[in-house]
A and B are shown apart, each in its own frame.
Chain A
Amino acid sequence: MKKLLFSLALLATPPVLAAAGVSAELLAGYRAEAAKPFSAAQGEQLFRARHGDIGCTSCHTDNAKSAGKHAQTGKSIEPLAPAANPKRLSDPAKVEKWFKRNCNDVLKRACTAQEKGDFVTYLVSIK
């Protein structure tokens, strides 16, 4: 049954996501745990929100297509949007690793599947 759901989820993934190198597996996983459909607008809100003196944009800049810079070390960070960096979102384990770290650092908690799905949907929507 799980397999069938997964295949259905794959079918439901718009082809544009696959074309951008985004792992269908990733979004399918979030979709299985999220209540509402994913929203690029919600994702963008997450991306721009400030929490105390930090937010995603502290390191990733306010343009997800731009290269970022680590706020503490100055090390350069490749763009978040797959439109500017085709490797981005292509490895689900890597995406999960960074959601875990960055949600902890910025929000002081884990992100929900809904938030992750919205966020990925926003990044993929950027042309």
Chain B
Amino acid sequence: MKTTIFLIAAVSILAGAALADDHVGQYGGESRAKPLPTSKPNATWRQECGSCHIAYAPGLLPAESWRKVMAGLDKHFGSDASLTAQENRAITEFLVDNAATRWRTPGAPLRITETAWFKRQHDGHEIRPEVWKRASVKSPANCAACHPGADKGDFEEDRIRIPR
């Protein structure tokens, strides 16, 4: 009897979770999409966004996040990264057009590392805390340390190489 009740409870919880998942999508609605559409490379984006860090692929954040990032480039995480109005327009358009397609919540984080999908895929079970402290990794913003194809939007799991 006890087992039956437990089973019923477990099944209901699972079903509920599945329904909820269906509604908001994966990662509480903060799910990304294919990071970079290879059909539409954008030279201005690659050149300008790639001068201080890798050019983060548009699919890693939702459109609203990119709009906010691009509207505040004069104070971009502590640095002035301002562009001409023309460059800014062209890059914003590219980012917004190719932003995450599975985002289901109104949240628009400014940092990729603050998104639910990022946190889940890089949590303590996936990556030991000491890995982040290695000189070869330096920061969670340094995607290319472990994802060699990051600048091409390649984050495939079997191509991950965690450096010593």
Contact = CB atoms under 8 A, between A and B. Distances in A.
A61 to B, nearest CB: 16
A70 B53 contact: yes
B38 interface: no
B110 to A, nearest CB: 15
Contacts of A73: 52-53, 139, 141-142
A100 B73 CA distance: 12
- The DSSP consensus for interface residues of chain A is helix
B80 A72 contact: no
A75 B52 contact: yes
Interface in B59-91: 74, 77-84
A56 to B, nearest CB: 14
Contacts of A97: 82-84
A74 interface: yes
A105 B79 contact: yes
A75 B82 CA distance: 18
B138 interface: yes
A124 to B, nearest CB: 22
Contact of A101 (B53, B54, B81, B138): B81
Interface of A: 70, 72-75, 93, 97, 100-102, 104-105
